[in-house]
């Protein structure tokens, strides 16, 4: 009887704890939005399907990758907690615009079209698009050879934009880059157009010799952290933190962890 009573008390206390936990969390978020007192929280969103920038391994509880380490380091510099939400790539800019989140870090290339909708931080990574095909494909050796071919891309990306410019190409827009690789391997498409470091990481990580990179890098793109268009204060804070991390070697450390080398210029 006594045991049951103790158990009941424990359960009730546990429940109260959970409720209190939720409550204080909400307060923290509100205070970040209003900027008044309490622990500040930076609400960040990413599309965690883009290794080595953002992904979740099978046994990981936290999101991993270059972007994830970088934004946590930026948050630390800014003295805020970082809360990471996983949203599909094409839903990220809308989520920023409705104000559900404060910032997006997701290997997002800075371009004019997006700059009409959001504000970007200073560039933090130099990238560009590359093509991968099956290892035994001898007909596609360059961007021009993609005419009339089936190409898999991730929906809403710069890769999708570029692929759509190719005459007579049949562009398959999929939800993630992982899906594009699967389509290629299954023989449903002739090529994948996607960011170079992600293609490279995929091939080395999976020691996948059934696919290969062909041709030159198609574009030169810079990744930036996006915030709501009018949030100039946050852009400034992020840029200041980024600058500090580049100066104090922390940026280089994170870069080396994920790419194995020091950045050539940053
Ligand atoms: N850099 C490309 C773009 O900005 C692709 C980014 C995709 N990112 C992702 N997390 N899936 O469109």
Q: How far apart are CA 146 and CA 113, in angstroms?
A: 25
pLDDT in tens, 82-91: 999 999 999 9
Residue 61: which pLDDT band, with cuts at 50, 70 and 90?
confident
| All residues at 6 or more sequence positions from 13 whose CB lies less than 8 Å from its CB, including other chains | none
What integer pLDDT is reported at residue 38 of this predicted model? Answer: 72
Q: What is the pTM of this model?
A: 0.85
Phi/psi at 148 (nearest 5 deg)? 75, 5
Residues composing the chain: 266
Clarify whether residues 157 and 213 are in a common domain: yes
Residue 264 belongs to some domain of the structure? no
Q: How far apart are CA 4 and CA 207, in angstroms?
A: 56
What integer pLDDT is reported at residue 266 of this predicted model? Answer: 45
Residue 253 belongs to some domain of the structure? yes
Residue 194 belongs to some domain of the structure? yes
Clarify whether residues 138 and 215 are in a common domain: yes
Among residues 227, 173, 220, 174, which one has the least CA distance to residue 195?
A: 220
- Helix ranges restricted to H, the chain: 2-34, 66-78, 92-97, 112-115, 158-164, 177-185, 196-205, 232-247, 250-259
Residue 117 belongs to some domain of the structure? yes
Atom of ligand 1 nearest to the CA of 160: 12
Residue 167 belongs to some domain of the structure? yes
Q: How far apart are CA 136 and CA 23, in angstroms?
A: 57
Between the CA of 175 and the centroid of ligand 1 the distance, in Å, is 11
Report the pLDDT averaged over residues 201-214: 90
Residue 77: which pLDDT band, with cuts at 50, 70 and 90?
very high
Of 25 and 62, more confident: 62
If one residue of 108, 163, 226 were mutated to test the ligand 1 pocket, choosing by the most ligand atoms within 8 A of its CB, it would be 108
Clarify whether residues 41 and 111 are in a common domain: yes
Question: Pseudo-torsion of CA 132, 134, 137, 138, nearest 10°?
Answer: 40
Mean pLDDT (the chain) is: 88
The residue behind tokens 């990238």 is: 127
Clarify whether residues 122 and 227 are in a common domain: yes
pLDDT in tens, 145-196: 999 999 999 999 999 999 999 999 999 999 999 999 999 999 999 999 999 9
Clarify whether residues 213 and 238 are in a common domain: no
Q: How many domains does the chain have?
A: 2
Share of the chain above pLDDT 90, in %: 80
pLDDT in tens, 218-227: 999 999 999 9
Of 19 and 162, more confident: 162
If one residue of 107, 179, 196 were mutated to test the ligand 1 pocket, choosing by the most ligand atoms within 8 A of its CB, it would be 107
Tokens representing residue 199 in the block: 């293609």
What integer pLDDT is reported at residue 43 of this predicted model? Answer: 98
Tell me which residues have their CB closer than 6 angstroms to ligand 1: 47, 49-50, 54, 89, 106-109, 154, 157-158, 195, 221
- Per-residue exposure over 203-236, b if at least 16 CB sit within 10 Å of its own CB, e if not: beeeeeeebeebbeebbebbbbbbbbeebeebbe
Residue 25 belongs to some domain of the structure? no
What integer pLDDT is reported at residue 35 of this predicted model? Answer: 46
Tell me which H or E stretch contains 171.
strand 170-174
Between the CA of 240 and the centroid of ligand 1 the distance, in Å, is 24
The gap from C-alpha 112 to its chain's centroid, in whole angstroms, comes to 19
What integer pLDDT is reported at residue 223 of this predicted model? Answer: 98
pLDDT in tens, 22-60: 333 333 333 333 344 578 999 999 999 999 999 998 888
Of 266 and 160, more confident: 160
Q: How far apart are CA 199 and CA 205, in angstroms?
A: 10
Clarify whether residues 104 and 133 are in a common domain: no
Write the CATH number for 205.
Answer: 3.40.190.10
Atom of ligand 1 nearest to the CA of 48: 10
Phi/psi at 95 (nearest 5 deg)? -65, -35
Whether 118 has a pLDDT exceeding 50, the answer reads yes
Report the pLDDT averaged over residues 107-124: 98
Rounded to a whole number of angstroms, the distance between the first and last alpha carbons of the chain is 67
Atom of ligand 1 nearest to the CA of 53: 10
Clarify whether residues 139 and 115 are in a common domain: no
Domain ranges, residue 118: 36-126+222-259
If one residue of 121, 128, 195 were mutated to test the ligand 1 pocket, choosing by the most ligand atoms within 8 A of its CB, it would be 195
What integer pLDDT is reported at residue 4 of this predicted model? Answer: 53
């Amino acid at each position: 009887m006594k045991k049951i009573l103790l158990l009941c008390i424990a359960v009730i206390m546990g429940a109260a704890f959970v409720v209190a936990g939720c409550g204080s969390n909400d307060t923290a978020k509100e205070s970040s939005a209003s900027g008044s007192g309490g622990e500040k929280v930076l609400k960040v969103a990413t599309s965690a399907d883009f290794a080595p920038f953002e992904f979740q391994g099978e046994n990981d509880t936290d999101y991993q990758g270059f972007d994830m380490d970088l934004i946590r380091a930026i948050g630390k510099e800014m003295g805020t907690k970082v809360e990471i939400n996983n949203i599909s790539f094409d839903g990220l800019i809308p989520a920023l615009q409705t104000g559900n989140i404060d910032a997006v870090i997701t290997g997002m290339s800075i371009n004019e079209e997006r700059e009409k909708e959001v504000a970007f931080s200073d560039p933090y990574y130099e990238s560009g698009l590359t093509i991968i095909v099956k290892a035994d494909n001898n007909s596609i050796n360059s961007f021009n050879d993609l005419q009339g071919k089936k190409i898999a891309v991730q929906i809403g990306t710069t890769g999708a934009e570029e692929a759509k410019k190719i005459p007579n190409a049949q562009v398959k827009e999929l939800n993630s880059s992982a899906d594009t690789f699967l389509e290629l391997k299954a023989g449903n498409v002739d090529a994948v157009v996607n960011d170079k470091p992600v293609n490279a990481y995929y091939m080395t990580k999976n020691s996948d010799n059934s696919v290969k990179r062909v041709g030159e890098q198609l574009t030169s793109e810079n990744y930036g952290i996006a915030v709501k268009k009018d949030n100039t204060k946050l852009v400034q804070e992020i840029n200041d933190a980024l600058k500090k991390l580049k100066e104090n070697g922390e940026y280089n450390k994170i870069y080396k962890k994920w790419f194995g080398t020091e950045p050539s210029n940053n």
